[in-house]
Amino acid sequence: MFDWFMSTENKIRKHQRRVTNRDTQPDEREQSVRWLLDEGSPKALRALLMRFDMTLPHQLNDKAEREHTYDLLLVKGDELLRPLRLHLKKCRGFAYPLRMFEEVTDAQQTIEMVYQLLRIEYEKDDLNHPEKKRNLLIWLAERKHAGAVEAVTPFLLDFDEGVRIAAIEVLLHQDEVQYL
C-alpha cells in the first residue's frame, strides 16, 4: 500500500526477499517476479535471478516456478547478459543461469564463462563446498574445447575426490589429452 513511498532500490530488495523466501505464497512470489521483470533494471533482473538459488520443498512446484521464471527472463535477451554474468560469479546453483547464458550468447562465450567460474572457484578454495566446482567440471566434461585441458589441470590436485574425478572426466573427453 505504501510502496509508492519506497525508493526503487528498496522495492527491488522487498521483491527479491519475496522471490527467494520459501514461505512466501506462490501468488505473491509470482507478483514479485512480474514486478522485477517489469522494472527491468540490471539490479531488478539480478534480484530475479536469485530465485534460482532457492529451492522449494515440493520439487514439482519448484521446477514449474523455475521454468516459468526462466522463460520470462529469456524474453529480456541482451538486457539480461550483464546481470547474468554478475549472478553466475556469485550464485550457489548455476544450472538454470548457465543454461540461460548459453541461450543468450554462443557456445564459445559460455565455455569461456565456465573457465572463468572455475578460476573463481579454484581461487576460493572452499573446503566445505566443492559441489559447484564438481558440477562445473561435470558440465564441461560434456563438451570438447581446446582450452579444457589447461582449465581443469589444477583440479587434478583438489582435496575433494569428486572434483578430481570430474576433472579426469573432462580430460578423457577431450581430443588431445596431454599426459601429465
pLDDT, tens digit, 9 for 90 and up, residues 29-81:
999 999 999 999 999 999 999 999 998 989 998 999 999 999 999 999 999 99
128: confidence class by pLDDT, cuts 50, 70, 90: confident
pLDDT computed for residue 5 by the predictor? 67
pLDDT computed for residue 6 by the predictor? 75
How do residues 14-32 score in pLDDT, each as one tens digit? 999 999 999 999 999 999 9
92: confidence class by pLDDT, cuts 50, 70, 90: confident
Q: How far is CA 108 from CA 33, 79, 114, 144, in A?
A: 30, 19, 10, 11
- Report the length, in residues, of the chain: 180
pLDDT computed for residue 93 by the predictor? 84
pLDDT computed for residue 146 by the predictor? 85
When mean pLDDT is compared across 131-140, 143-152, 171-180, the lowest value belongs to 171-180
Task: Give Cα 36 distance to the centre of its chain.
Answer: 18
d(CA 119, CA 152): 9
When mean pLDDT is compared across 44-48, 118-122, 128-132, the lowest value belongs to 128-132
For residue 73 the three cell numbers come to 527472463
Residue 174: CB atoms within 10 A of its CB come to 18
pLDDT at 176 over 90: no
